[in-house]
Amino acid sequence: MDKKRLHLIIQGKVQGVFFRASTKEKACELGLRGFVRNREDGTVEVVAEGHMAQLQKLADWCHIGPDHSIVDRVQIDWMPYIAEFEEFTIN
């Protein structure tokens, strides 16, 4: 089984630049499930589940982000797939 769970914390200019909406669009395009949300510390958190190849594409995309974002750092954690989500949402 090549399904995994991906947890990302994205730092930089990532709030107020449509990062969440763009991440949701990209995740849905890749067939992933999970969520994206802003955190009080100014970072964006992503939790996604799906096939490893699609998750890696999302992680690669998050290193760049949408126009007007400036990504300084992406913390990546891989975890076991647990089939927690039915869709990809903005929280």
Neighbours of 64 (CB within 10 A): 11
- 37 noted as active-site residue: no
- 39 noted as active-site residue: no
Which residue among 20, 33, 37, 73 is the active-site one?
Answer: 20
Which residue among 33, 38, 39, 91 is the active-site one?
Answer: 38
Catalytic residues: 20, 38
